[in-house]
Structure 1
Amino acid sequence: MMDKILWGIRALCYAPFFGKFGMPSYLGKPVFLKGIRNIIIGKKVRILPHLRMETQNGGTIEIEDDVVISQNVHITSAGQLKIGKRSLILANVFITNIDHDYTEIGKHVVKQKITVKETTIGENCFIGMGAAIMPGTVLGKQCVVGANSVVKGVFPDYCVIVGSPAKIIKKYNQETQIWEKISG
Structure 2
Amino acid sequence: MINEILKYSFSDIFRMSFSFILTKLFYPGAMLVRRPISIRQKRGFHYGKGLSTGKNCRIEIFGDGVIEMGDRCQIGDNTHLVSSQLVKIGNDCLFASKIFVSDTSHGSYGEDASSPLDLPNSRPLVSDPVEIGDRVWLGENVVVLGGVTIGEGSIVGAGSVVTKSLPANCIAVGSPARPIKRFNFDSKTWEKIPR
Task: Report if TM-score (shorter chain) is over 0.5.
Answer: yes
* RMSD, aligned CA: 1.4
- The aligned counterpart of 1:119 is 130
The CA deviation string for residues 112-131 of structure 1, in whole angstroms up to 9 with x for no partner, is 11211110111101000001
> Helix, strand or coil: the match of 2:18?
helix
In structure 2, distance between residues paired with 1:116 and 1:59? 9
In structure 1, distance between residues paired with 2:116 and 2:170? 40
- The aligned runs of 1:63-74 (5 Å cut-off) are 63-74=69-80
Unaligned runs of 5+ in 2: 6-12
Counterpart residue identity of residue 72, structure 1: N
In structure 2, distance between residues paired with 1:83 and 1:105? 33
1:27 aligns to 2:38 (yes or no)? no
The CA deviation string for residues 110-162 of structure 1, in whole angstroms up to 9 with x for no partner, is 11112111101111010000010111110111110000000022211100010
- The aligned counterpart of 2:96 is 90
- The aligned counterpart of 1:108 is 119
Which of 48, 54, 74 is the matching residue for 1:42? 48
Q: TM-score, normalised by structure 1?
A: 0.91
- The aligned counterpart of 1:14 is 26
Q: Which has the larger radius of gyration?
A: 2
Percent of counterpart pairs with the same letter? 26
Task: Provide the aligned length of Structure 1 versus Structure 2.
Answer: 178
Moved over 6 A (4+): none
- The aligned runs of 1:46-61 (5 Å cut-off) are 46-61=52-67
- The aligned counterpart of 2:179 is 168
Counterpart residue identity of residue 153, structure 2: Q
Unaligned runs of 5+ in 1: 16-21
> Helix, strand or coil: the match of 2:43?
helix
In structure 2, distance between residues paired with 1:97 and 1:79? 7
Deviation at 1:9, TM superposition (A): 1.3
In structure 2, distance between residues paired with 1:45 and 1:109? 34
Q: TM-score, normalised by structure 2?
A: 0.86
Which of 130, 142, 160 is the matching residue for 2:141? 130
